């Protein structure tokens, strides 16, 4: 069931304040979009919000994303209360950073995406996981894993400022501020410019 007008108004008002990068009209549009997409889906959470699959479909159709693992992590970042469901509030606030975040906001966002186990560090193993499929050509004799391990070493060498073998948020932030291209170092998790 769609929200009542009054409830919608209240929602839009509060989101207008918390999602800083959208104005009220834009928030209203996003909420309406949310309602439309939710109504279209067949999930049992339909009344409440996006589930994982629906969200992945949306990411794919609207933003051209294809990497399952990354999309999963994006879902996790949007889903603040960790209830495996994205509410309208989480939707709008997440999109605020996703579409229009400042560099600082996006650094935080990407780090959260890449920190697979949420322990505050991007570990070697996590990097390996994310970069697993990133080498397209391999000389046949060589163990394909070797190439990925080399790549992980290169990334660590570049970004691990405190030399503790893993990337803390401070490491990551510093690296990205030094070289903006590294923001999505471990996979595209922000919308493409195209």
Partner 1 sequence: LQGGNPTATVIALCSMRDFNLAQETCQLAIRDIGCLEVLINLLDTEEIKCQIGSLKILKEISQNTLIRHAIADLGGLQIMVKILDSPDKDLKCLAAETIANVARFKRARRTVRQHGGIKRLVGLLECISAGSTGLTPYQAKDTEIARCGALALWSCSKSIKNKEAIRKAGGIPLLGRWLRCSHANILTPVVGTLQECASEPSYRLAIRTEGMIENLVKNLSSEHEELQMHCASAIFKCAEDKETRDLVRQHGGLQPLSVLLGNSENKELLAAVTGAIWKCAISGENVSKFREYKVIEALVGLLTDQPEEVLVNIVGALGECCQEPINRSIIRKCGGIPPLVKLLTGTDQALLVNVTKAVGACATEPENMMIIDRLDGVRLLWSLLKNPNPDVQASAAWAICPCIENAKDAGEMVRSFVGGLELIVNLLKSKNKEVLASVCAAITNIAKDEENLAVITDHGVVPLLSKLANTNNDKLRRHLAEAISHCCMWGSNRVTFGETKAVAPLVLYLKSNDPSVHRATAQALYQLSEEPNNCITMHENGVVKLLLAMVGSTDETLQEAAAGCIANIRRLALATEKAKYG
* Binding residues vs partner 1 (CB under 8 A): 131, 133-138, 147, 151, 154-155, 157-158, 179, 181-182, 184-188, 193-194
14 vs 180 by CB, closer to partner 1: 180
11 vs 189 by CB, closer to partner 1: 189
4 vs 139 by CB, closer to partner 1: 139
Return d(Cα 192, Cα 64) in angstroms, integer. Answer: 8
DSSP lists the bridge partners of residue 86 as: 50
What tokens were used for 137? 């050509």
| Least distance CB 147 / partner 1 (angstroms) | 7
| Least distance CB 181 / partner 1 (angstroms) | 5
133 vs 170 by CB, closer to partner 1: 133
| Least distance CB 20 / partner 1 (angstroms) | 22
Given a contact cutoff of 8 angstroms between Cβ atoms, the answer to whether 74 and 110 are in contact is: no
55's CB contacts (< 8 A; 6+ apart) are 71, 74, 75, 78, 86
Given a contact cutoff of 8 angstroms between Cβ atoms, the answer to whether 59 and 65 are in contact is: yes
Place of tokens 């990133």: 134
| Least distance CB 148 / partner 1 (angstroms) | 9
Rg of the chain over Cα atoms, rounded to whole angstroms, equals 19
């Amino acid at each position: 069931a769609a929200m009542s007008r009054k409830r919608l108004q209240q929602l839009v008002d509060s989101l207008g304040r918390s999602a800083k990068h959208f104005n009220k009209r834009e928030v209203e549009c996003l909420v309406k979009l949310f309602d439309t997409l939710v109504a279209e889906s067949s999930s049992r959470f339909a009344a409440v919000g996006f589930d994982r699959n629906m969200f992945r479909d949306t990411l794919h159709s609207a933003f051209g994303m294809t990497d399952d693992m990354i999309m999963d992590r994006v879902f996790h970042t949007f889903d603040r209360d960790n209830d495996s469901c994205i509410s309208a509030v989480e939707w709008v606030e997440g999109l605020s950073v996703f579409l229009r975040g400042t560099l600082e906001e996006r650094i935080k966002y990407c780090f959260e995406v890449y920190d697979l186990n949420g322990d505050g560090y991007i570990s070697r193993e996590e990097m390996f996981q994310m970069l697993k499929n990133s080498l397209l050509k391999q000389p046949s004799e060589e163990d394909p894993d070797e190439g990925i391990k080399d790549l992980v070493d290169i990334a660590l060498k570049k970004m691990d400022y405190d030399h503790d073998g893993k990337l803390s948020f401070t490491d990551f932030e510093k690296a990205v501020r030094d070289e903006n291209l590294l923001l999505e170092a471990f996979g595209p998790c922000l919308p493409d410019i195209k």
